[in-house]
Amino acid sequence: MIRFNKVNKYFGDLHVLQDIDLNIAPSEVAVVCGPSGSGKSTLIRCINRLETIQSGEIFVDDLAVHDRATDLIRLRTEVGFVFQQFNLYPHMTALENVTLAPMKVRKTPPTQARELGLDLLAKVGIHEKADAYPAQLSGGQQQRVAIARGLAMEPQIMLFDEPTSALDPEMINEVLEVMIQLAKDGMTMVVVTHEMGFAREVGHKVVFMDMGQIVETASPDKFFTNAQNERTLLFLSKILSH
Amino acid sequence: MWGFYLQNLLDSLPFFFKGLWVTVQVAGLSLAIGTVCGFMLGIARAGRVRALNFVLAVYVDLIRGTPFLVQIFIVFFILPEWGIQLEAFSSAVLSLSIYGTAYICEIVCGAVQGVPNGQREAAAASGLNWIQQMRYVVVPQALRPILPPLVGQYVLLIKDTAVVSVIGLTDVTRVGWLTVQRIPNGILVFGLVGLLYFSICYPLVWFSNRLEGRLTVEDNTL
Amino acid sequence: MLETFNFRVIWATMPQFLHGLGATAWISLVALVGAMLVGILACVMRLSGRRLLALPAVVFIEVIRSTPLLAQLYFFYFGLPGLGLRFSETQTGIVALSLNSGAYVAEIIRAGVMSIPRGQTEAAAASGLNLYQRLRYIILPQAIGVTIPALLGQMIVLVKDSALLALISVFELTRAGQLMASERFMPAEGFFTTAVFYLLIYFVLKYASGQWQKRLIFRPAGGV
C-alpha cells in the first residue's frame, strides 16, 4: 500500500532521511516513534508530498509520489492527514472545515456534503458541535474535527503526525479512542506518536527512528519486550519511565 | 477684502464641486483597478515562483522608490513619444493604478504570508489545489489584517490624486489653482480645497483608526 | 527606445542633476529635522492627558492626514504672502513638508510610545519624575529605537514628497528633469534620469532601514 525505497531527504546540509526502506500493507497500522529530530514527522509528510525527497522512491498504491508528474490532487485525496497543531481553518465552522474539500475538490453538492460532514462528525463524537468555530472547541474536540476533515475525502490511508502531543492529558484519550475505532474498521494508518498504549492495542508494527534512519521495525509485542537495538532500549527506558 | 473674496469664492462653488467629481472619478476608478490588480499580484507574490517574485519585487521597488509626480510625468510625456497617445484622464487613471497596485500588492503579500503555513498545508493535504487553497483558506484569513492598512492606503491614494492636476486634469486641486489666480487669497481658496478633500478622506481615516483599534485620546496618557 | 535615448545630453547636463540631487537631499534633511520637532511636540501634546493640549494636536494631525500635501503646499505658497509673511519658495516648501511629515511622525512616535509597557511610565512617575523627565529619560529613548525603521520609511516618503516642490519652482531633482523636458524637449531623458537618482536615495534608505531592523532583531532581549 505504501512503499519507501531507498529514500533520502536533506534540509540543506542536514540529512533528515537516510536510505529509508519501509512497506506498509493495506489495513496495517504502523506506529512511528523516536526521539525528536529523528525524522519521523518528515517521513510521514513525504507520503503525501508535503515534503519532497531528493532521491529514492515512494509509492502509494500505484502512485509514484516521488514523480513530479504524479497527480498531486489525486494522491492527496487518497491520503488523509492529521496535524499535531490541528490546523483547523479558524474562519469556518467545524462542519465547514469538514465539507470544504468534498465540495471544492470533488464537487459534492452542498446538501450531500453536509450529510457526509454530519456523519463524520458523529463518527468522531462531536455531532452537536457542527456549527461551532474552532476557537469555541477544546483541543481534543478540535483534533477530532481535524480527523473528520481528514476522513472527508474517503481516503485509503490516514496519516497522523503526533496527533495528541499538543493536547492536555485529559483530552488525549478521546482522540485515541477515535483513532482506535478507525484502526479496527480496517483503515491503513501511519501514526507518529509516543502513545505506546495505542501501539499495543491496535498497532501491527512499530517503526523506531533515530537520526534519520529506521533503527528497528517490529511487531508491538516484540518491540516492547524484546527490542534488539540499544538505541531503541534507551528510548524505551525514557518514554516508559513516566 | 476677505468678505469680498469669500463672496467671490462662494460664487465659484459649482466649479469646485465639478472638480471634486473629477477627483472622485479618478480616485474611484484607480482604486478599483489598483485593488483588483494589487490582490492578484500580492497573492502571486506570496507564492514561491522565484522568477515571478523577482519581477514583482523590482516593480514594487521602482514604484515605491520614485515620486508619483515623476511617474505621472513619465506616463504623460513619454508614452506619446513611443506612440501611445493618452488623454489626461486616462493617463491619470493609468499612472495611479500602476502606483496603487504596487502598494496594495505589498500589503496583500505581507498579510498572506502572515497566515500560518499549517493552514495552507492542511488545505493541500485534503486535496485543494493552489488556487483553492488561497481562495477558501488563506485569503479569507488574510482579509482581517489587510483591511486596516488597505483603508489607510486608500486615503493616501485619494490624496495623491491631487498630483494629477499637473497634467491639466481639472480636479479639485487644479480648480483651486485656477481660482487663486482670480481670487488672490490662498488661505481661503486652498482652505476650501482642503475642506473638500477632508470631507472625503476623514471618514476613511476615522474608519481606519477604528479598525486598528486605536485608543482614544482620553484613554492614554504619559 | 534606447536607440533614441540621448546619453550624451544626459552626461552634459549631469551637473544640473547633481545640483538637483544635492538640493533634494538638503531640503529633505532640513524638513526631517522640522518634522521630528513638530512630530514630537504634537505627540507629547496628544498624550499629555490635558484636553486643552490634546485637542489641537489631534485636529492638526487629522487635518494634515486627511488633505493632500499638494493642497497644503499651495495653501502656504498662495496664502502666506496674504498674511504679510514673505518666505522664499524653498522656505515655504520646507515649512509645508515639515508640518506634513510632522503629523505622520507624531503617529509613528505615538505607536512607539504605546509599545512601551505601562509599568515603565508608572515606575518613573512613582520615583518622582515629572512629565518632561519621564519623556526625556524613560519614554523617548526607548520609543525612538523601535521607531527608527518607521522613521526611515517616513524619510523615504519625505524625499519623494519633496518632488512636489518642483511645482512651486524650487530647483531640486524633479525640477532638473522638468527643465530638461521643457527646454530641450527631452522628457524621456529628463524624467528617467530623475527617477534613477530617486531610486538611488531610496535604496540607500531602504538598506539602512533593513540594517537597523536586523539590529533590533538580533539584539538580545532583556533578561535572557
Residue of C nearest to B206 (CA): C62
Q: Cβ of C114 under 8 Å from any chain B Cβ?
A: yes
Angle at C211 between CA C210 and CA C214, to 5 degrees: 85
Provide the phi-psi class of A25: left if phi over 0, else alpha when psi is between -120 and 50, else beta.
beta
Examine the pLDDT at B218 and tell me if it is beyond 60. Answer: no
Contacts of C119 (CB under 8 A, 6+ apart): none
- Write down the pLDDT at residue A95: 95
Q: Cβ of C80 under 8 Å from any chain B Cβ?
A: yes
DSSP string across A97-145: HHHHHHHHTS---HHHHHHHHHHHHHHTT-GGGTT--GGGS-HHHHHHH
What percentage of chain C carries pLDDT values higher than 90? 50
The nearest CA of chain B is from the CA of C209 a distance in Å of 14
Examine the pLDDT at B151 and tell me if it is beyond 70. Answer: yes
Residues of B in contact with A89 (CB under 8 A): 119, 122-123, 136-137, 141
Give chain A's count of helices (H) and strands (E).
9, 10
- Write down the pLDDT at residue B219: 44
Residues of B in contact with C81 (CB under 8 A): 186
Contact between B118 and A88 using a beta-carbon 8 Å cutoff: no
Which chains would you list as touching C if contact means 3+ CB atom pairs under 8 Å?
B
- Residues of A with a Cβ under 8 Å from any B Cβ are 48, 50, 73-74, 76-77, 79-81, 83, 85, 87-91, 100-101, 104-105, 146, 149-150, 152-153
Contact between C47 and B222 using a beta-carbon 8 Å cutoff: yes
**pLDDT tens-place string over residues C61-104:** 999 999 999 999 999 999 988 888 888 999 999 999 999 999 99
C abuts B (3+ Cβ pairs < 8 Å): yes
Rounded Cα distance between A101 and B48, Å, is 23
Q: Please name the residue ranges forming H helices in B115-185.
A: 117-125, 130-132, 139-160, 172-182
Q: Cβ of B123 under 8 Å from any chain A Cβ?
A: yes
Rounded to the nearest 10 degrees, what angle do helices A110-123 and A139-151 cross at? 130
Contact between C187 and B184 using a beta-carbon 8 Å cutoff: no
Q: Which of B48, B120, B126 to probe by mutation at the A interface, max A CB count within 10 Å?
A: B126
C128 three-state secondary structure: coil
**pLDDT tens-place string over residues A16-37:** 999 999 999 999 999 999 988 8
Closest CA to B191 of C83, C166, C86, C56: C83
DSSP string across C75-103: HHHHHTGGGT----HHHHHHHHHHHHHHH
DSSP run (H or E) holding A17 = strand A14-24
- Write down the pLDDT at residue C11: 84
Q: What's the predicted TM-score (pTM) here?
A: 0.81
Contact between C62 and B202 using a beta-carbon 8 Å cutoff: yes
- Write down the pLDDT at residue C222: 38
Q: For cell 469664492, what's the residue?
A: B9
DSSP run (H or E) holding B64 = helix B50-64
Contact between B69 and C163 using a beta-carbon 8 Å cutoff: yes
**In this complex, how many residue pairs, one in chain B and one in chain C, have their CB atoms less than 8 Å apart?**
161
Q: Which of B118, B128, B141 sits opposite A101 (nearest CB)?
A: B128
Query: What are the C-alpha distances in Å from C59 to residues C53, C56, C65, C103, C146?
Result: 11, 5, 10, 10, 26
Q: For cell 532521491, what's the residue?
A: A55
What's the complex ipTM?
Answer: 0.88
Residues of C in contact with B77 (CB under 8 A): 181, 187-188, 191
Examine the pLDDT at C221 and tell me if it is beyond 50. Answer: no
Residue of A nearest to B123 (CA): A101
**pLDDT tens-place string over residues A175-190:** 999 999 999 999 999 9
- Which three cell numbers mark A125? 463524537
> What are the backbone dihedrals phi and psi of residue A56, each rounded to the nearest 5 degrees, phi first?
95, -175
Residues of B in contact with C78 (CB under 8 A): 180, 184-187, 189-190
**pLDDT tens-place string over residues B167-192:** 989 999 999 999 988 888 889 999 99
Which chains would you list as touching A if contact means 3+ CB atom pairs under 8 Å?
B
